[in-house]
Amino acid sequence: MISTFFIRWMMNNSPELNTERLFMRSLNINDAEALFKYRSDSVTNQYQGWIPATVNDSVEFINNRISSTIDEVNTWFQFAIIKKENNELIGDIGIHFFDKDKYQVEIGFTLDKNQQGNGYATEALKEVINYLFDKLTKRRIIASIDPRNHKSINLVSRLGFRKEAHFKESILLNGKWFDDAVYAILKDEWNEKNKSYKEF
């Protein structure tokens, strides 16, 4: 029989989040093919550091590069973004728990190109950010974005992130050097901007 403690631990370490149109849970091995379908689009995802070449690359990513539990230092946790109306995986949000004192995290996001322009990324990110600040008591969230990625920059800017740094040729991808821009938001800034946002 599963203990109450174990159930509580699982709920805390593998959260499930809901919005009006979306459901978010931990990315798992059953998502490998759907993940490959939208992540392998090298044009849409040209500013990202990882683009799978095969479904096996997606399997390896899920099995070996992300954590199955949340808020573990030096790991990435990946939320799968699911449309409630048809249970379709349409994107993912990654959270990097890099701060040993657990005050700040990094986020990244990917959305299927066929689902863009419908407000799904904003809806999902608001819920995840709210979760990070209110439930995991983080103080600061950053996003590292290629300066050429205007869509992502516009998205985080609308959410209230500030540009804090621009690093010249600081990232090496496929033998080429690229710039990196860092955007950030503090919990107090988020709360001030989203006073009317419904808490969960």
Express as a percent the part of the chain with pLDDT over 70. 91
Please list the helix, strand and coil fractions of the chain in percent, rounded to the nearest 5, in that order: 35, 30, 35
pLDDT band at 73 (very low <50, low <70, confident <90, very high): very high
Q: Containing H/E element for 173?
A: strand 162-173
pLDDT in the model for residue 14:
80
DSSP for residue 125: H
Residue 12 lies in a domain: yes
Residue 178 lies in a domain: yes
Q: Of 133, 118, 142, nearest to 21 (Cα)?
A: 118
> Tens of pLDDT along 123-155?
999 999 999 999 999 999 999 999 999 999 999
Residue 199 lies in a domain: no
Residue 79 lies in a domain: yes
pLDDT in the model for residue 165:
97
Determine how many CB atoms are found less than 10 A away from the CB of residue 155. Answer: 19
Measured in residues, the chain has a length of 200
Residue 163 lies in a domain: yes
Number of domains present in the structure of the chain: 1
pLDDT beyond 90 at 30: yes
Determine how many CB atoms are found less than 10 A away from the CB of residue 130. Answer: 19
Q: What is the dihedral of CA 132, 78, 39, 28, to 10 degrees?
A: -150
The alpha carbon dihedral of 85, 45, 26, 30 has a sign of positive
For 150, the 3-state DSSP assignment is helix
Host domain of residue 99: 4-26+69-193
Q: Which two tokens stand for residue 93?
A: 């949000």
Distance CA 155, CA 107 (A): 13
Residue 35 lies in a domain: no
Q: What is the dihedral of CA 107, 110, 115, 121, to 10 degrees?
A: 10
Residue 58 lies in a domain: no
CATH number of the domain to which 110 belongs: 3.40.630.30
pLDDT band at 175 (very low <50, low <70, confident <90, very high): confident
What are φ and ψ of residue 35, in 5° steps? -60, -45
What are φ and ψ of residue 22, in 5° steps? -125, 155
Residue 110 lies in a domain: yes
